[in-house]
Amino acid sequence: MRRLLFYLIFIALLIAGCNKTKEGIIPSVGPNSILNETYPLADDSRKVMDGIYTVTAGVDPFGDEVVIKWSRKKMSVFCSDGHYFVFDAGQLDSVVMIQGYWRYCYNDDTGLASAYIARDEGGRDILKANPHPERIVIRGGFGKTGSEISEPLEFVYLRPISPAVLSKHFSILAHRSGGRTSDNLPVSENSIAMINFTEGLGSTGIEIDVQLTRDGIPVLYHDADINIRLTQKGPLSGPIKDFTYIQLFYLVRLIHGEHLPTLKDALMFVVDSTLLTDVYIDMKEKIPTMSAVIPIQREMLQRAKDKGRELNIYIGLPSEDAISDFMNQPGYLDIPSLCELGTDDVAMVNSIVWAPRWTQGTQNEQVSLMHSQRRLAWTWTLDNVNWILEFINNGQFDGILTNYPFVVGYYHYIREN
pLDDT along the chain (417 residues), means of 10: 43 40 65 91 96 97 98 95 97 96 94 97 96 94 91 97 95 97 94 98 98 97 96 96 97 97 98 98 88 98 98 97 96 98 98 98 98 98 96 97 98 96
Q: Tell me, what's the pLDDT at 337?
A: 98
Residue 119 falls in which region: left (phi positive, over 0), alpha (psi -120 to 50) or beta: alpha
Rounded to whole angstroms, how far apart are CA atoms 116 and 100?
A: 12
Query: Angle 320-327/290-306 helices, nearest 10 degrees?
Result: 70
User: Are 154 and 62 a contacting pair, CB within 8 Å?
Assistant: no
Q: Are 76 and 85 in contact (CB under 8 A)?
A: yes
Residue-range domains of the chain with CATH: 2-160 (no CATH), 166-413 (3.20.20.190)
What pLDDT is recorded for position 60?
A: 94
What is the b/e burial string over 197-219, where b = at least 16 CB atoms within 10 angstroms of the residue's CB?
Answer: bbbbbbbbbbbbbbbbbeeebbb
| Stated pTM of the model | 0.93
CA atoms 178, 181, 182, 185: torsion sign: positive
Write down the pLDDT at residue 366.
Answer: 98
pLDDT tens per residue across span 299-309: 999 999 999 99
What pLDDT score does 225 carry? 96
Picking from 209, 202, 226, the residue whose alpha carbon sits closest to that of residue 175 is 209
